[in-house]
Amino acid sequence: MINLFLRLSLLVALFSVAALVRPVSAGEADDCLRNKMLEGYAQGWSVRTSTSASLKEGESRVYSVTLYKGAEYQIFACADAQAVDVRLVLHDADGQVLLNEDAVDRQPVLTYTAPATATYYVAVHAADTVSDEAKAAIGMAVTWRQSP
């Protein structure tokens, strides 16, 4: 009975109105994200939330995240095949770059333990897509666990 709700969310994605208007390949990003969340449970991660965006090359989406001092966070993204390279960047409240995932891939991951409870910002960049017109579906999740 591993995560009835994550399995259910596949159904919701398939049958919801959103599925009709989102890119056909959005399911690929969603499935990847769901699998990563399931795998995370086995390693003691809990899910804060997940979200998604549809971005063209060069576009970004910024999220604000309040991170707790002493907890370990893993922030990961999954993009569909329209994306070639997706970057995740963690900024502090002043906009300074704290972490920058710079591998060329579609599934970037950041791991961070916050030194203080504060607001941070995660920017998801569609750094490269298969063409100028392509819109990549990118899912992102924030997971957390007690620091070892």
Partner 1 sequence: MRLTLQLVLLAALTACDAPPPEAPPAPTPPPVVEEKAPVGPLSVGELAAAEPVALVPSPLEMQAALKRSGLLGPQGLLVKPRPLKAAGEDHDRLAVRTGVALADLLLIVQTAQTPELVGLLKEIRAGLVALGAKDDALSALDELTAQVQNEALTRDSLVQELDALSGGTLPELEAQLGPRAVPLIRAGSWLEGANLVSSSIIAGGNYDTATDLLRHPGVVAWFQRYVEETPAGRPDQEQLVPILRESLKSLATATAAERLGEAEVRQIHQSTAAVLDLL
Contact positions vs partner 1 (CB under 8 A):
1-9, 11-13, 15-19, 30, 34, 37, 41, 46-52, 60-66, 68-71, 85, 87, 89, 91, 93-97, 100, 102, 104, 116-119, 121-123, 125, 127-128, 141-144, 146
User: Closer CB to partner 1, residue 53 or residue 135?
Assistant: 53
In the chain, what is the straight-line distance between the N-terminal and C-terminal CA atoms, in Å? 27
User: Closer CB to partner 1, residue 68 or residue 112?
Assistant: 68
Residue 31 CA from chain centroid, whole number: 12
User: Closer CB to partner 1, residue 82 or residue 140?
Assistant: 140
Collapsed DSSP state (helix, strand, coil) of residue 133: coil
- For the bound state, the minimum distance from the C-beta of residue 133 to partner 1, rounded and expressed in Å, comes to 19
User: Closer CB to partner 1, residue 26 or residue 82?
Assistant: 26
Under 8 Å between Cβ of 122 and 73:
no
Under 8 Å between Cβ of 78 and 29:
yes
Distance CA 122, CA 120 (A): 7
